[in-house]
Amino acid sequence: MSGRKYTWANNLHHQTFEKLDRVLVCTELEAKYPHTTVFALSREISDHTPLLMNTNQPSSANQPNFKFELGWLLQNGFCDMVREIWQNVQHAGTLLERWQAKIRRLRQYLRGWAKNTSGAYKKEKKLLLNKLDELDKKAEIDCLNESEINLKHVLHERLGELLREEELKWYQRAKVKQLLEGDANTKFYHLVANGRHRKTRIFQLEDGNKLISGDAELKKHITTYYKKMFGPSETSSMSLDESATTDIPQASQMENEFSIDQFTEEEVRTAIFQMESNKAPGPVLPGFLEYH
């Protein structure tokens, strides 16, 4: 809930505040409308505060950023496909420019591949569920023959693989470390991820006495705000003297040579393996901090 902390207050001189009013929904509704929020309105002359529930359907213009899915690693041939794309990209230039060209091409390919794979996944899952449902209904009125029993086991095994991939997807978004092994926890991860998204999403901002809401207006306001903050100022009385270095500590010749030396393969491997499993690096890898 946003807008206020409490939903009830008495009218005594020393007021008592409580959070009594709530909105109750089932998990199916939250799964269907993951951006749902509750906003506390003005209670006017009442003791209780009315609550407004909004499904906040996202705009179709919002394009999600690229995200590597852990579930892709479970698909047959995925690593071979990545290796082939990586090796086929030929680019002249420095090692860093070659790496950037390869990772850019791989990202472009995986974005399109993931879109097609997602559609195929949904169709296959629906087909498997329908076929299993047919076999279950038939088993209620007649015994299944050996081939049908074997088919049912194969369908169950394949469905389990798809559900495991889906569970990994929501586990990655939920950013929790519990319950990864064992029973399927897809719904749990789904709800945790939705809760994290609602907590981090900006629904409105205050600019003086003006209230700004709506995705388009929020983007415009935030962009303008940071352009003014970090952009060049119109007038400035400050100036820099590049020759004034007497009060700045200087690196020794040995430190300078060490800082510009090429990274060894062992240093790169050490830095990469210092990262936590299933985490993406920031602008600088942890192991490289000592070299910059």
pLDDT at 47: 83
Does residue 230 carry a pLDDT above 50? yes
Looking at residue 286, its pLDDT comes to 41
Complete DSSP assignment for the chain: -BS-S-SEE--SSS--EE--------HHHHHH-TT-EEEE---TTSSBPPEEEE--PPPTTPPPPP---GGGGGSTTHHHHHHHHHHH----S-HHHHHHHHHHHHHHHHHHHHHHHHHHHHHHHHHHHHHHHHHHHHHHHS---HHHHHHHHHHHHHHHHHHHHHHHHHHHHHT--SS-SSS--HHHHHHHHHHHHHHH---EEEETTEEEESHHHHHHHHHHHHHHHHSPPS-------TT--TTS----HHHHHHHHSPPPHHHHHHHHHTSPTT----SS-GGGGGG-
Asked if 52 and 100 sit in the same domain, the reply is: no
Q: Are 149 and 129 in contact (CB under 8 A)?
A: no
More confident residue, 264 or 190: 264
pLDDT at 178: 53
Task: Provide mean pLDDT across the span 133-142.
Answer: 82
pLDDT category, 63, cuts 50, 70, 90? low
Query: How high is the pLDDT of residue 183?
Result: 47
Q: Is the pLDDT confidence value at 8 over 50?
A: yes
pLDDT of 159: 83
Q: What is the pLDDT of residues 267-290, one digit of tens each?
A: 888 887 887 776 666 554 444 443
Q: What is the mean pLDDT of residues 55-68?
A: 62
19 and 82 in a single domain? The answer is: no
Inside any domain, residue 113: yes
- What is the pLDDT at residue 179? 47
Q: Is the pLDDT of residue 222 over 70?
A: yes
Same-domain status, 82 and 194:
yes
Same domain, 7 and 74: no
Greatest mean pLDDT among 52-56, 84-88, 174-178, 235-239 lies in 84-88
- pLDDT mean over 129-139: 83
Res 218: pLDDT: 87
pLDDT digits (tens, 9 = 90+) for 65-121: 667 777 788 788 888 999 999 999 888 788 778 888 898 898 888 888 888 777 777
Asked if the model's pLDDT at residue 185 lies above 70, the reply is: no
Does residue 137 belong to any structural domain of this protein? yes
Mean pLDDT computed over 23-33: 83
**Do 33 and 103 lie in a common domain?**
no
- Final residue of a domain: which of 200, 235, 256? 200
Report whether pLDDT(20) > 70.
Answer: yes
Q: What is the mean pLDDT of the chain?
A: 77
Tell me, yes or no, whether 33 lies in a domain.
Answer: yes
User: Would residue 189 count as lying in a domain?
Assistant: yes
Same domain, 92 and 48: no
Beta strand pairing call for 204-207 and 210-213: antiparallel
pLDDT higher than 70, residue 184: no
Across 22-44, average pLDDT: 82
Split into its structural domains, the chain has a count of 2
pLDDT for the residue numbered 84: 92
Structure confidence at residue 196 (pLDDT): 67
| Residue 169, domain extent | 70-200
Mean pLDDT over residues 232-255, rounded? 79
pLDDT band at 182; cut points 50, 70, 90 = very low
Q: What value does the mean pLDDT take over residues 218-225?
A: 89
